Copies of this chain bind each other. A is one copy, B any other.
Amino acid sequence: MATLKYSRQRESIKENLMHRRDHPTADMIYTDIRKIYPNISLGTVYRNLALLSDLGEIRKLTVDGGADRFDGNISPHNHFTCRRCGAVLDLDMEDISRIKQSAEQRFHGVIESYSVNFYGLCENCTEKS
């Protein structure tokens, strides 16, 4: 049955994710939440991130190099990862969802989702080049 029960840890994790725009790793969230719940464990953070992601309440981002990132913004949008500082940023760009239809055209199977990641140097790191 797996009825879902409330937990303040989970609530706090979601809350944390909703109020930041930096696409943190599980560990970054853990560090942050510990200021409120000093006894929370990293395992609990991972468990709840997986659960929230399965529920579709948050989004998990797999980017090149390093740990997975998490995003409280589930509306369709794409990301940029800076190869120098590692920052993961939202990209403000026109809708490209037609690439899904484009991929489906000659594909024999079911395409359920897709993810687009851009890489390069962010504004900050470009200046410091």
Interface residue ranges, A against B (CB under 8 Å)? 60, 62-65, 78, 80, 82-83, 91-94, 96, 99-100, 102-103, 105-126
B113 touches A115 (CB 8 A): no
Quickly give the copy total for this chain.
2
Cross-chain contact of A83 among B62, B99, B112 (Cβ < 8 A): B112
Cross-chain contact of A112 among B99, B114, B121 (Cβ < 8 A): B121
A123 touches B102 (CB 8 A): no
**A99 proximity list for chain B (CB < 8 A):** 93, 96, 99, 116
A110 touches B116 (CB 8 A): no
Cross-chain contact of A102 among B60, B65, B96, B124 (Cβ < 8 A): B96
